[in-house]
């Protein structure tokens, strides 16, 4: 069964660091389940973009780290700290850009 996890921009803007990490882990678990079922990343991307919900909020230099971490199921503290730091910067930038 394919689960599509969607979170609104307004919900993501409310994430604290723990919420963000939990959301990343949820996305990773969902992606890994699909990969383990035999789907390829290309087939998954034809159905949905599991990275799309966070694309607005991650700086250009952090976004590929998240994609690789999710595909390869990397959950190390070092990677999660880099993603969290990038997410916080991205949230701040998004709020400034949109006067929130």
Is residue 5 in some structural domain?
no
Domain count, the chain: 1
- Quote the pLDDT of residue 1: 41
- What is the mean pLDDT for each group of 10 consecutive residues in the chain (100 residues)? 68 95 94 95 91 92 95 97 98 95
Is residue 10 in some structural domain?
no
The dihedral through the CA atoms of 50, 23, 98, 92 has a sign that is negative
- Quote the pLDDT of residue 6: 75
Is residue 1 in some structural domain?
no
Is residue 53 in some structural domain?
yes
Domain containing 24 equals: 16-97
Predicted TM-score (pTM) of this structure: 0.87
Is residue 11 in some structural domain?
no
Write b or e for each residue in 8-20: b if 16 or more Cβ atoms lie within 10 A of its Cβ, otherwise e: eeeebeebeeeeb
Is residue 6 in some structural domain?
no
Is residue 40 in some structural domain?
yes
**89, 59 in Cβ contact below 8 A?**
yes
């Amino acid at each position: 069964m394919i689960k599509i996890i969607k979170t609104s921009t307004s919900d993501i803007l409310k994430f604290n660091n723990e919420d963000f990490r939990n959301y990343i882990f949820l996305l990773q678990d969902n992606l890994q389940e699909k990969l383990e079922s035999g789907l390829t990343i290309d087939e998954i991307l034809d159905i949905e973009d599991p990275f799309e919900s966070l694309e607005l909020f991650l700086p250009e230099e952090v976004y590929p780290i998240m994609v690789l971490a999710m595909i390869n199921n990397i959950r190390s503290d070092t990677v999660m700290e880099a993603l969290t730091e990038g997410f916080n910067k991205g949230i701040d930038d998004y709020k400034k850009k949109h006067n929130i």
